[in-house]
Structure 1
Amino acid sequence: MVFARLNYVELPAADVAGSKTFFETAFGWSLTAFGPTYAATIGASTDFALQGDMLEATAKPLPAIETDDLEAVLASVEAAGGEITLPIFAFPGGRRFHFREPSGNELAVYINEPEA
């Protein structure tokens, strides 16, 4: 069995700067800006992100599962009947894919690859 844990939640955010300020002020969180359309906490046991690129954002919060074997989890998701909504793609620091489980909830699975 591969390592897999839920540890990231990405919210769609039409106003990343405003939402970033809100969460920093309301909860004392520190969010790092990764450009004008993305900001995230780094190093918490469960990290939190704001996705402002509405072409990439999901309609609802996107829970993300970290793994150490992306391809194996992709195969497991498909074998279990998950619908792949975004095939594996690279992002700064790793790769991920998105899927829907039978109730229609969309999730992501990612692997950290800092050198990528």
Structure 2
Amino acid sequence: MAEIYSQKLKHEQIQYIEFLSKDIVQAKNFYTKCFGWKFTDYGTAYTAFAGDYVEGGFTYGEPTNGTILVVLYSEDIETTKSKIISAGGAIVKDIFSFPGGKRFQFTDLDGYELAVWTE
């Protein structure tokens, strides 16, 4: 993920948004035409995008309301995870590795699911 970023990474900022798409090629074409987003494919099931003020990705799935995933960056993923647990959040996917680093996913007190990543 880090190679597509044009901005400085800031600890615990909202940094990345993931969408579900039933047709990633169609999504890429639409957002390229509308907003000029640039895409980087990671295999056939995931593509990352970067625009002037937004970065994120598309993964295969059936889009429904509430399926956008907000991703925060952390300089210290273990400490951020501990803070979330201490505040009453629930870890729904523990720390795992992916081609850009490591991440985990959690729900807040309202049930919203977010993710935290690190390089």
Question: Which TM-score bucket, shorter chain as reference?
Answer: 0.7 to 0.9
Unaligned regions of 5+ residues in structure 2, if any?
Answer: 1-9
What residue number does 1:35 align with? 43
What residue number does 1:89 align with? 96
The DSSP-based 3-state class of the residue aligned with 1:95 is: strand
What residue number does 1:111 align with? 118
Is this contact kept in 2: 1:97–1:110, CA < 8 A? yes
Following superposition, the deviation at residue 3 of structure 1 comes to 2.2
State the TM-score, normalizing by the size of structure 1: 0.84
Is 1:63 equivalent to 2:70 in the alignment?
Answer: yes
Unaligned regions of 5+ residues in structure 1, if any?
Answer: none
Following superposition, the deviation at residue 96 of structure 1 comes to 0.2
**Percent identity of equivalent pairs:** 32
Give the Cα separation in 2 of the matches to 1:46 and 1:68. 20
- Opposite residue 13 of structure 1, the aligned amino acid is S
Count of residue correspondences = 107
Give the Cα separation in 2 of the matches to 1:23 and 1:83. 33
The DSSP-based 3-state class of the residue aligned with 1:31 is: strand
Is this contact kept in 1: 2:105–2:115, CA < 8 A? yes
Is 1:6 equivalent to 2:14 in the alignment?
Answer: yes
What residue number does 2:26 align with? 18
State the TM-score, normalizing by the size of structure 2: 0.82
Is this contact kept in 2: 1:9–1:61, CA < 8 A? yes
Tell me which stretches of 4 or more aligned residues in structure 1 moved more than 6 Å. none
Give the Cα separation in 2 of the matches to 1:68 and 1:44. 23
